[in-house]
Chains A and B, each alone.
Chain A
């Protein structure tokens, strides 16, 4: 008896199956097309500039010169500890350049879902 009731229920719902399928399709489609306010994540390249003896160099201008993503064209200046930070960077690989007393040093930096640190060493002249 229960079996017949179930079959009867299925038979009555069959005409609605097309509408249910269309409804499901629309729901999935809407979910895919709903604009998402995904905020892009940004990271920083932090670093230190030293001489060959490891002594920090202050007042060195540091900037990005190459990257797989775009970068803000601001230049950081190292503090008394030789430290600098370049922020608002998306995931990607970059080249960082430091400029001091007419010399330049470059180092690669990779950002992958986290900040990264680099060290630039100026050779003694």
Chain B
């Protein structure tokens, strides 16, 4: 079916990294033996960034969710659906938490925002399109600082800034929520994925998605924006280009990974973008999204 607005045009407008800076961690392997994936690990419909489960999530292997739990009291918020069930991830240095990054976004107009992203290759961070391109702030961001596994004031894998972004014409030109996703390509001097690993991603059928538990973790501003918070639930609905769920989220979690855990491997199936009283939602990874992510992944190898 022709789908002109929906043609997944790869928007090649790029702000080159003239202002990039960054520092890289020296370790090529993580402390828990995560093995780097070969460049040729691409499968036809999914990319598997499997990793050994860390001790703090070992119980998750037998549960349908991807974290350990704690009990706490929180005020009730609207996009936190019902009781707030978010769990703080602490420490953040286990996989997959360390592959999730706090974003500090500076717009071309000089204003600042908080978002979330996740690594899919040594230097490629996936996030929401509205984190890299803001129509109300002059378009492409001026720069974004990427902080993997930020935990309060601790930056266990340092941080890197970039001014090199990618998104889709469906978002930058048409403001279409269905195409709200993008990428940050980090400078060559900063390769956090070599150390922390990265997520896989996959395009799945409606029935498959509806049978899974979705996991989501990011950096909500109501918790200060410096700590990582997780929640998991079954999807509420699946549409052609979106997935809706009652996972508790808050501003600052735009761009967070929505993933499934399958045989010990994590596959992202969506990019969290929107809050709504009736259900929060992600841009769904479908074949066209998958192909763009793969193109962008290759830019950060």
The residues of A with any CB-CB pair to B shorter than 8 Å are: 37, 39-40, 42, 44, 61-77, 79, 83-85, 87-88, 95, 97, 99, 104
Name which of A44, A69, A76 has the most chain B CB atoms within 10 A of its CB: A76
B252 touches A73 (CB 8 A): yes
Q: Helix, strand, loop or mixed for chain A's interface?
A: strand
List the count of A-B residue pairs having beta carbons below 8 Å apart. Answer: 115
Decide yes or no whether B202 CB sits under 8 A from chain A: no
Q: Quick check: B115 and A74 within 8 Å, CB to CB?
A: yes
A74 contacts across to B, CB distance below 8 A: 105, 113-115, 128, 130-131, 251-252, 254
Contact with A42, one of B5, B175, B224 (Cβ below 8 angstroms): B175
CB-contact partner of A70 in B112, B174, B222, B276, under 8 A: B276
Contacts of B159 in A (CB 8 A): none
CB distance from B86 to the nearest CB of A (A): 13
Question: B residues touching A (Cβ–Cβ < 8 Å)?
Answer: 5, 77-79, 105, 110-115, 128, 130-131, 134-137, 174-175, 177, 180, 220-222, 224-225, 249-254, 272-277, 280-281
Q: How far is the CB of A95 from chain B (nearest CB, A)?
A: 7
**6 residue pairs bridging A and B, Cβ less than 8 Å apart:** A61-B225, A67-B276, A72-B254, A76-B113, A77-B111, A84-B111
A87 and B222 form a contact (CB under 8 A)? no
Shortest Cβ distance from A42 into chain B, in angstroms? 6
A-B contacts besides A61-B222, A73-B251, 17 pairs, CB < 8 Å: A61-B252, A63-B252, A65-B78, A66-B277, A68-B277, A70-B177, A70-B281, A71-B275, A72-B130, A72-B273, A72-B275, A75-B221, A75-B250, A76-B113, A79-B112, A87-B135, A95-B78
